[in-house]
Structure 1
Amino acid sequence: MPITPLPLPAGPAVLEALPVLERALTGTAPIHPHASDESPAIPEGTIPQDLAVTVATSGSTGTPKLSLLTAANLIASAEATAERLGGHGQWLLTLPPHHIAGLQVLLRSITAGTTPVVIEASEVTPFALVEATAGMSAERRYTSLVPTQLARLVDDPLGLEALRRFDAILVGGAATPAPLLDRARSLGVRVVTTYGMSETAGGCVYNGKPLRGVDVRADDSGVIHLGGPVVAHGYLGLQTDSFVAEGGQRWFRTGDFGSVDGEGRVTILGRADDVINSGGMKVAPRLVEEAVVAHVPAVTGAVVVGVPDAEWGEIVALAAVTSPGGPPEGLVPEVGLTEIREMLRPHLPAHALPRRVLVVAEMPLRGPGKPDRTAVARLLQA
């Protein structure tokens, strides 16, 4: 059974692909969604009998891989999402449709029997959002955003008005700063944080709680494993021990550090590969990033990476985006660096305080809303 490449254009033209996506959900006509300006090579490999789609991973740990998602995976994800959100509804697509978060908006719409409304990702303005919501007729309305989109829309009166019309707004792709979540929710925006990846048919943990049928555990090293009906069959043409069958279900080793408390609530600390070893002490970048956004005035976005250092092995280095009127772009001088470290000292251990800070106009990205840590590291080393 061949896998058919399916170019998915950005914008409303993507709706023409809905019949093909609907056939894919039968598990008899597998497809590989991709950006319409790409010519992807599909590797050879064994595929499961009810394969629906192959979705490229974000490539956060190297070359992107193709996750094998079956019809059962995708339907289980769509039904569990509808159950958690309060029922099926109409969706607004604002993300690239070939990435899992955007693709799931289309697939959930098919499962719900509704037609999504589409705004091209580069054209998500407050006015465009108002227009889009005016064209949504279902009783319940949903959308998925990345944190950058949410921040821009919350700060605009028109955008805020439109956001309030949704019964749920899924936010994922990258960690959402706590101050942004608190502000949006205090203004009446029903934000739902999501955690998941291509290998789990997208988000499968909402507001820290797994969806129906999803199991989460942390191994002895603190790495999160996800199990249940949403876990992909594996990668196309690639053998890996990240997927295992155990206890009658499939599990995926995520590579993310985190914890699961006694009530099943999941906390994610960031990727294991991103942990910084400075002077023999380990630093989780996400904890530093959250502290920076929460406690350093004018900083609206932060990415922390390790930069090689002769004395410490690695130093904690910070790239920051600031609000208008904040510090100018470029390397923060010693005086400013000392001030930032003192602001963070009550909230972080000494070994986690940044030793280099660079202000950038915008953060390099490698996917919808996801920071490109390799590019950030290059900027900070330069």
Structure 2
Amino acid sequence: MPNKSFAENWIQFNSIKYSIADFINTYKSSSDKPIHTILSFLKEWRSDSSYISQKTSGSTGRPKIIKISKSQIKASALSTLNTLDLTAGDHALLCINPEYIGGKMMIARAIIGKLNLSISPIVSNPLQGFATTEAVDFFSFVPYQLEKILDETPNKIEFLNNSTAIILGGAPVSEILANKIKSTIHDAKVYSTYGMTETVSHVALKHINSAKSEAFKALKNVTFSTDNRDCLRIHAPAISGQDQLLTNDVVKLLSPVEFDWLGRYDYVINSGGIKIHPELLEKEIAEVFEINKIFNRFFIFGLPDEKLGQSMNLLLEGNMEEPNLYNLLKEHLPAFHAPKNIFSVSAFSETESGKINRLETIKIINKR
């Protein structure tokens, strides 16, 4: 039987609360993959080893195993807890994949900050069957999950508003989702996160539902600079374990602790001398799609072109029922920013962590 007296923080699963030791003992033979992953992390954290092994997400290259020290994890967790004003006894929800750093850090924050942690199934709408009798102070979602919650279960919006903080990671937050957040979530603070496995989850937060436009702001003891490509350098030795970490993210550096994210350097398209950041153009296309009720996922990519060097192209997921899409985009987008070609595939390739794998999806087009 689970222990009913909690001198330490508790873990709740299937509506039953356990101490960490009882949770490990109760589910030690579980065949459920997420539970097995959580147990492995808890055991690794409680072991004498000074580090854990962690797989990268694969969003910027082939997934690999790296070692992260427990001191890095502790520094990252404390930085987030302090920034979001989370305190001992607060209640957090784990509903993202614990195999990746974002999920593991939710567990670490609970342990280090003495938060109580509920575990829900990893599904597109984790609040669909989640009991709302007990307030949750801290949520971490991938953007797609929050979009599903707002679209499918508007009765949960008040539950979200009663929380302290909601963080969104794993993928960029679209303009469509940002607008939904601003119109529905007014009391809880909602943040987009910037980070990666090598920085032990996020090192900067962007306040989405702020009254004013916000840039990404560094967590405590983190600073930024850029290289000659305008790619971001991260200076966070306590968290990353390195004096500096160079990324391929092109940014507009506003100060040593603030930046606007423009896109990936390796995705930039040079079309006839015009440099185009696909991610920025995708925001404009998303607004056109929203107005015209087009719901396909999409992204912009470059292809070799004899005249232009590279042509800019639009790739859609699924069937497109808007026959005049090209003219629609040409009408609303800046000059020379309408796609030369519009392709479609039945389904996008995704990384193991659920992000769109652009490079693998483009290969489908190149094989035709």
TM-score (ref. length: structure 2): 0.78
- Of 308, 319, 331 in structure 2, the residue corresponding to residue 329 of structure 1 is 319
SS at match of 2:148: helix
Mapped pair 1:340 → 2:329: yes
Mapped pair 1:377 → 2:362: yes
Aligned to 2:159: 162
Asked if structure 1 preserves the Cα contact closer than 8 Å seen for 2:125 and 2:146, the reply is no
Asked if structure 1 preserves the Cα contact closer than 8 Å seen for 2:224 and 2:256, the reply is no
Whole-angstrom distance in 2 between the partners of 1:108 and 1:58: 20
Structure 1 residues 1-382: aligned runs within 5 Å: 9-12=32-35, 15-17=38-40, 19-23=42-46, 28-29=48-49, 50=50, 52-88=51-87, 89-122=90-123, 124-128=125-129, 130-131=130-131, 133-135=132-134, 141-156=137-152, 157-188=154-185, 190-207=189-206, 208-233=216-241, 250-262=243-255, 264-296=257-289, 297-300=292-295, 301-320=297-316, 329-330=319-320, 335-345=324-334, 349-350=335-336, 352-358=337-343, 363-381=348-366, 382=368
Asked if structure 2 preserves the Cα contact closer than 8 Å seen for 1:185 and 1:191, the reply is no
Structure 2 counterpart of 1:307, one-letter code = L
Asked if structure 1 preserves the Cα contact closer than 8 Å seen for 2:75 and 2:239, the reply is no
Asked if structure 1 preserves the Cα contact closer than 8 Å seen for 2:204 and 2:219, the reply is yes
Alignment RMSD (CA, Å): 2.7
The alpha-carbon deviation at position 62 of structure 1 amounts to: 2.6
**Structure with greater contact order relative to length (CA < 8 Å, sep ≥ 6):** 1
Whole-angstrom distance in 2 between the partners of 1:316 and 1:21: 47
The alpha-carbon deviation at position 320 of structure 1 amounts to: 3.8
Whole-angstrom distance in 1 between the partners of 2:301 and 2:32: 34
Asked if structure 2 preserves the Cα contact closer than 8 Å seen for 1:330 and 1:358, the reply is no
The alpha-carbon deviation at position 182 of structure 1 amounts to: 2.6
SS at match of 1:370: coil
The alpha-carbon deviation at position 380 of structure 1 amounts to: 4.1
> Structure 1 residues 341 and 54 mapped into 2: Cα distance closer, same or farther (>3 Å)?
farther
TM-score (ref. length: structure 1): 0.75
Whole-angstrom distance in 2 between the partners of 1:166 and 1:8: 32
Structure 2 counterpart of 1:171, one-letter code = L
Whole-angstrom distance in 2 between the partners of 1:142 and 1:72: 23
The alpha-carbon deviation at position 227 of structure 1 amounts to: 1.2
1:47-77: CA deviation from partner (whole Å, max 9, x where unpaired): xxx4x22222222333223333211211111
The alpha-carbon deviation at position 232 of structure 1 amounts to: 3.1
Whole-angstrom distance in 1 between the partners of 2:347 and 2:54: 27
Whole-angstrom distance in 2 between the partners of 1:8 and 1:306: 43
Segment drifting more, 111-120 vs 211-220? 111-120
The alpha-carbon deviation at position 162 of structure 1 amounts to: 3.5
The alpha-carbon deviation at position 96 of structure 1 amounts to: 1.1
Asked if structure 2 preserves the Cα contact closer than 8 Å seen for 1:169 and 1:190, the reply is yes
The alpha-carbon deviation at position 22 of structure 1 amounts to: 3.1
SS at match of 1:134: coil
Whole-angstrom distance in 1 between the partners of 2:319 and 2:204: 36
Percent of paired sites with the same residue: 25
Asked if structure 1 preserves the Cα contact closer than 8 Å seen for 2:326 and 2:338, the reply is no
> Structure 1 residues 60 and 251 mapped into 2: Cα distance closer, same or farther (>3 Å)?
same
1:113-140: CA deviation from partner (whole Å, max 9, x where unpaired): 2342112223634422x42x4355xxx6
Whole-angstrom distance in 2 between the partners of 1:298 and 1:315: 27
Whole-angstrom distance in 2 between the partners of 1:253 and 1:72: 21
> Structure 1 residues 127 and 228 mapped into 2: Cα distance closer, same or farther (>3 Å)?
same
* Consecutive unaligned residues in structure 2, runs of 5 or more: 1-29, 207-215
> Structure 1 residues 68 and 372 mapped into 2: Cα distance closer, same or farther (>3 Å)?
same
> Structure 1 residues 15 and 373 mapped into 2: Cα distance closer, same or farther (>3 Å)?
closer
Whole-angstrom distance in 2 between the partners of 1:82 and 1:256: 26
Asked if structure 2 preserves the Cα contact closer than 8 Å seen for 1:292 and 1:299, the reply is no
> Structure 1 residues 151 and 124 mapped into 2: Cα distance closer, same or farther (>3 Å)?
closer
Aligned length, in residue pairs: 321
Aligned to 1:39: none
Structure 2 counterpart of 1:306, one-letter code = G
The alpha-carbon deviation at position 281 of structure 1 amounts to: 2.6
